[in-house]
Chain A
Amino acid sequence: MSTPPPPSQPQDQPEVVNTQNADLGDGVNRCPRCGSTDIQLRASTGMLICLFCRHEWSEQQAEGQLFDDGNLTELRGTTIGSGAADIAADVNAVVTLKCQGCGAEVVVNTAAAMSSRCHWCRHVLTINNQIANGAVPDAVLPFALSHEEAVARITEFASKRKTFANRQFLKEFTPQNVVGVYMPYMIVDGNVSSDVYGHGEVETRRYTRGTDENRRTYYDADVYQLHRHVDFTVDDLTIESSAERAMMDTSVNTNNIINTILPFDTKNAVRWNANYLNGFSSEKRDQDVEQLQPALEHQLLSIARSQVAPSVSRYGRGVRWEAEKVDVHGTRWVSMYLPVWLYSYFQKEKNMVHYIAVNGRTGETMGSIPVAQGRLLAVSAAVGVVAEVLAIIILVVS
């Protein structure tokens, strides 16, 4: 498209791009080769497989399909995929489909599942039309790591952390119970400018005064007022789009564990096909683009501060940034399901769920293992005593 970008109007309505997979509808979606509806994701290949004839295929890559992939520096205004559109509060999550196999009515509760099997003719009916409850995203990144591989990673992670692990956790540890969950995210491209203001100090002289016991080091320094400006683009920034998952408070939950296994190879996401979810569970998005602006701005400001850091390296005594701003010229948003293998353990006495999470693409693993408080305290105290004894010996000898 060679039309010049429209002027930036921060409060204007976002442009919505229809990302509905036009090849699929709600109801019976058949294997392209044999017509069976028993279709699943085969994690080892990342492809859909027909359980009847073993034919394997994949949906089109979403990258380059959903948006015109122009130069990000030309991005203006807000563009969102239709799967990232605002959630309507009154929409009914329960969808009734007419089975094309036998004509029976089949109910799918999209709050919990995106497919259902017809009780009469055994066809699998899937939800592929976008619904205004956030359950159908623009794109999905299929699992590429099998259940066995996830079990192996979790076992390895936990086996390195046995000595001080909570005894009940160890007793009940069953890595086979790991569950594949598609988690909801917004994938954001942005074109922004940022300014930061503050003070920096350069050491000019260092000297000592006093003798022996009262010897002290003193510093002279020049103080500078600083300003830095940076224009940058971000490609596929990944933001939690479930309010509960975005709440990362390590004193009450372990959601930071799931956050840590980011990033994903989001460029390999494919257009929506509910069959990718068969056999997996999923969590629904409950946040709209507008509600995620603060989270986006926090990440953009952090990136800006990280980008300007090398340019102030000559201020050896450090820099105190005092004010900052970000001007967002353009963003585009895609809602996406990302694959996470999740092992969870509920620690009753702390009323806390501990996760061990494995990135369903890269295998990156992170976890929270509940600790045996008593053991941990005992060993810390023992080391403290040893250190103290050594300290006393040094004191007495010197």
Chain B
Amino acid sequence: MGIGAELLATGAPILAAGGSGDGSPAGILLAGPIAAIAVYGLLFRYYRNTDKSHSFETETRIQAAPITGGEQKVNEIRGTQQTQIQGNNVSNHRQRVQRAP
């Protein structure tokens, strides 16, 4: 049965992630709850497909001219612990932002 394999596949990386949490021994104890929630979410979506929609961005015939634009360095950040820019939405195409005039 495909589902059993999927359960195993989800459990393992979560355990590994819990174990590598900067060596903090308390972190690993979150493995149980995290695994339970992940398995629930995975199975729920497999049955209900609430996350699915038509990928019109890629499944429509689109002809685009070469992209133009510009960039300008405006700041330098030193010693942040954040792994990415705050509010990163580069791959969240459907998240609407303020309308420019």
Binding site for B on A (CB under 8 A): 72-73, 160-161, 163-165, 195, 197-201, 204, 212-213, 215-238, 248, 250, 254, 256-257, 259-263, 298-299, 301-303, 305-312, 315, 317-325, 366-371, 376-377, 379-381, 383-392, 394-395
Contact = CB atoms under 8 A, between A and B. Distances in A.
Question: Interface centre among A198, A204, A390, A391, by most B CB within 10 Å?
Answer: A391
A384 B30 CA distance: 10
A235 B61 CA distance: 5
Task: Tell me if A's interface is mostly helix, strand, loop or mixed.
Answer: mixed
Given A259-B54, A320-B89, A394-B19, A230 B84 contact: no
A319 B63 contact: no
Contacts of A318: 84-85, 88, 90
Given A325-B101, A368-B48, A395-B28, A225 B53 contact: no
Given A227-B71, A303-B60, A317-B83, A322 B97 contact: yes
B33 A384 contact: yes
B53 A259 contact: yes
Nearest to B64: A232
Contacts of A383: 7, 10-11, 35-36, 39
30 contacts: A165-B47, A213-B24, A219-B77, A219-B80, A223-B74, A224-B72, A225-B71, A227-B70, A236-B60, A259-B53, A259-B54, A263-B54, A298-B96, A302-B94, A303-B56, A303-B57, A306-B57, A315-B85, A319-B88, A324-B97, A368-B47, A383-B10, A383-B36, A384-B35, A384-B39, A386-B11, A387-B34, A394-B28, A395-B25, A395-B29
Interface in B44-66: 44, 46-50, 52-54, 56-65
B69 A226 contact: yes
Given A229-B69, A311-B69, A321 B32 contact: no
Nearest to B80: A219
Contacts of B75: 222-223
A228 B68 CA distance: 6
Contact of A237 (B14, B60, B64, B71): B60
Contacts of B50: 250, 256, 368
Given A232-B64, A257-B49, A391-B32, A379 B43 contact: yes
Nearest to B42: A380
B14 A323 contact: no
A302 B79 contact: no
A224 B64 contact: no
B100 A325 contact: yes
B55 to A, nearest CB: 9
A225 B73 CA distance: 6
Contacts of A390: 15, 31
A285 B9 CA distance: 45
B35 to A, nearest CB: 4
Contacts of A213: 22-24
Given A195-B100, A307-B64, A386-B11, A312 B90 contact: yes
A377 B19 contact: no
A260 B52 contact: yes
Contacts of A387: 11, 14-15, 31-32, 34-36
Contacts of B79: 218-220
Contacts of A386: 11, 35
B5 interface: no
Contacts of A394: 15, 19, 28
Given A220-B78, A263-B54, A320 B88 contact: yes
Nearest to A215: B22
A264 B92 CA distance: 25
B73 A222 contact: yes
A391 B21 CA distance: 12
Contacts of B101: 325
B59 A263 contact: yes
Contacts of A199: 74, 85
Contacts of A380: 36-37, 39-40, 43
